[in-house]
């Protein structure tokens, strides 16, 4: 079964440093998403991306965050200057259509720890 692949599985970074979280969506999917889950809390939407531009972003997704599809296979989330409160599990998801009932698939996540 096709998978969304995320790397690294765990990243530790110092406060103020830039981090890039990487995702390889399912190959024929066109819509891409990032979600965040702070330990013990609910999964929260960050941003959606389609046709090389952001479709929607949440209040969490401020100027410190950016997304990019640098080539035909990768989808990245960059946090420019990490804060302690950015420590969370970050999930990438992709879907074949812009509908949540069409193969909306999550990756296993990257655990980001900011120290």
Partner 1 sequence: QQQVKQSPQSLIVQKGGISIINCAYENTAFDYFPWYQQFPGKGPALLIAIRPDVSEKKEGRFTISFNKSAKQFSLHIMDSQPGDSATYFCAATLNTGTASKLTFGTGTRLQVTL
Would you say 53 or 71 has its CB closer to partner 1?
A: 53
Report angle CA 112, 19, 41 to the nearest 5 degrees: 30
Candidates 19, 29, 48, 79; binder of partner 1 (CB under 8 A) is: 48
Distance CA 94, CA 106 (A): 7
The C-alpha atoms of residue 109 and residue 5 are separated, in whole angstroms, by: 8
| Site track 19-38 with partner 1 (rule: CB under 8 A), x = hit | ------------xxx-x---
Supply angle C-alpha 35, 40, 46, rounded to 5: 15
In sequence order, the β-bridge partners of residue 21 are 77
Among 13, 24, 50, 69, binds partner 1 (CB under 8 A): 50
- Exposed (0-12), middle (13-18) or buried (19+): which is 32, by Cβ within 10 Å? buried
CB of 81 to partner 1, least distance (A): 25
Task: Scan residues 1-20 and list those touching partner 1 (CB under 8 A).
Answer: 4
Q: Does residue 109 belong to the site contacting partner 1 (CB under 8 A)?
A: yes
User: Which of positions 51-70 make contact with partner 1 (CB under 8 A)?
Assistant: 55-56
Binding-site ranges for partner 1 (CB under 8 A): 4, 31-33, 35, 41-45, 48-50, 55-56, 91, 93, 95, 97-101, 104, 106-109
């Amino acid at each position: 079964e096709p998978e969304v692949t995320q790397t690294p599985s765990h990243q530790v970074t110092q406060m103020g440093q830039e981090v890039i979280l990487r995702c390889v969506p399912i190959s024929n999917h066109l819509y891409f998403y990032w979600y965040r889950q702070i330990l013990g809390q609910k999964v929260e939407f960050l941003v959606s991306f389609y046709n090389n531009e952001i479709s929607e972003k949440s209040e969490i997704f401020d100027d410190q965050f950016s997304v990019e599809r640098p080539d035909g296979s990768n989808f990245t989330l960059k946090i420019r200057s990490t804060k302690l409160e950015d420590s969370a599990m970050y999930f990438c998801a992709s879907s074949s259509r812009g509908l949540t009932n069409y193969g909306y698939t999550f990756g296993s996540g990257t655990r980001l720890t900011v120290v």
